[in-house]
């Protein structure tokens, strides 16, 4: 992530704020080292070409704790994007999707469909994953909330998509659609490093690149 002195000014004067939430009973209890937060921090550090900051949480697989964290990150911290990792399988303790839907204003089912499509390129058990995406709105703010898998390799593949040996996109990653979604809900304009993740926007929504970028 860029330092304060290196960060640019975005066109609307607002910097992207990302909430990162790793959900794991054992990692939150200190039994093993969390992998989700470092993987997300590394990916965003490489992928984003516009200024951003992050707020992190490491919490157990408990519905009340997850809901509380998501509400706080959107309503109090004013994050524009909140990403969770972990807790999306079919086991009894996997409750992240239910907690996410409980704080939602709108469901965004296309994200979950694409996440499973990406994972199905590798394992048939991808159909067991229950990731969801939602928008949470308050009176003067809105945020996109995405459930991601917990493994670093899967996090990268989900966000970035799959490319062939020549670097041509084979399956689109979900982050290609995130900046335009953030535009539509009133957040800051997000730019990326195209070599990692090329953003898609309609032509009338594309702004000239910042010459200082």
> Does residue 151 or residue 134 have the better pLDDT?
134
Residue 61 lies in a domain: yes
- The DSSP symbol for 48 reads B
Identify whether the C-beta of residue 144 lies closer than 8 Å to the C-beta of residue 70.
no
Residue 2 lies in a domain: no
Identify whether the C-beta of residue 8 lies closer than 8 Å to the C-beta of residue 210.
yes
Chain centroid, CA 94 distance in Å:
19
Residue 1 lies in a domain: no
**How far apart, in Å, are the Cα atoms of 63 and each of 96, 108, 185?**
7, 20, 26
Residue 212, C-beta contacts closer than 8 angstroms, at least 6 positions apart: 8
**How sure is the predictor about 212, in pLDDT bands with cuts at 50, 70 and 90?**
low
Return left, alpha or beta for 208; rule: phi > 0 is left, psi -120 to 50 is alpha, else beta. beta
Residue 211 lies in a domain: no
Domain of residue 73: give its range: 13-205
CA–CA separation, 80 and 47 (whole Å): 17
User: Per the structure, how many domains does the chain have?
Assistant: 1
Residue 80 lies in a domain: yes
- Looking at residue 135, which CATH number applies to its domain? 3.40.980.10
Tens of pLDDT along 166-187? 888 889 999 999 999 999 999 9
Residue 7 lies in a domain: no
Residue 130 lies in a domain: yes
What was the pLDDT predicted at 164? Answer: 84
**How sure is the predictor about 89, in pLDDT bands with cuts at 50, 70 and 90?**
very high
What was the pLDDT predicted at 126? Answer: 94
Residue 3 lies in a domain: no
């Amino acid at each position: 992530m860029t330092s304060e002195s290196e960060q640019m000014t975005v066109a609307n004067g607002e910097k992207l704020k990302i909430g990162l939430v790793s959900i794991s009973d054992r990692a939150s209890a200190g039994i093993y080292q969390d992998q989700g937060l470092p993987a997300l921090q590394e990916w965003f550090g490489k992928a984003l070409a516009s200024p951003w900051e992050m707020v992190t949480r490491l919490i157990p697989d408990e519905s009340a704790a997850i809901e509380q964290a998501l509400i706080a990150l959107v309503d109090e911290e004013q994050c524009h994007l909140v990403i969770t990792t972990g807790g999306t399988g079919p086991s009894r303790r996997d409750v992240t999707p239910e907690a996410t839907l409980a704080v939602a204003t709108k469901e965004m089912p296309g994200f979950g469909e694409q996440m499973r499509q990406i994972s199905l390129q590798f394992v048939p058990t991808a159909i067991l994953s229950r990731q969801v995406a939602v928008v949470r709105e308050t009176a003067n703010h809105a945020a996109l909330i995405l459930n991601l898998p917990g493994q670093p390799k899967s996090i990268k593949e989900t966000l970035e998509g799959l490319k062939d040996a020549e670097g041509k996109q084979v399956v689109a990653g979900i982050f290609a659609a995130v900046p335009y979604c953030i535009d539509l809900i009133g957040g800051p304009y997000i730019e990326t490093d195209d070599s990692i993740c090329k953003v898609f926007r309609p032509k009338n929504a594309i702004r000239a690149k910042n010459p200082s970028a």
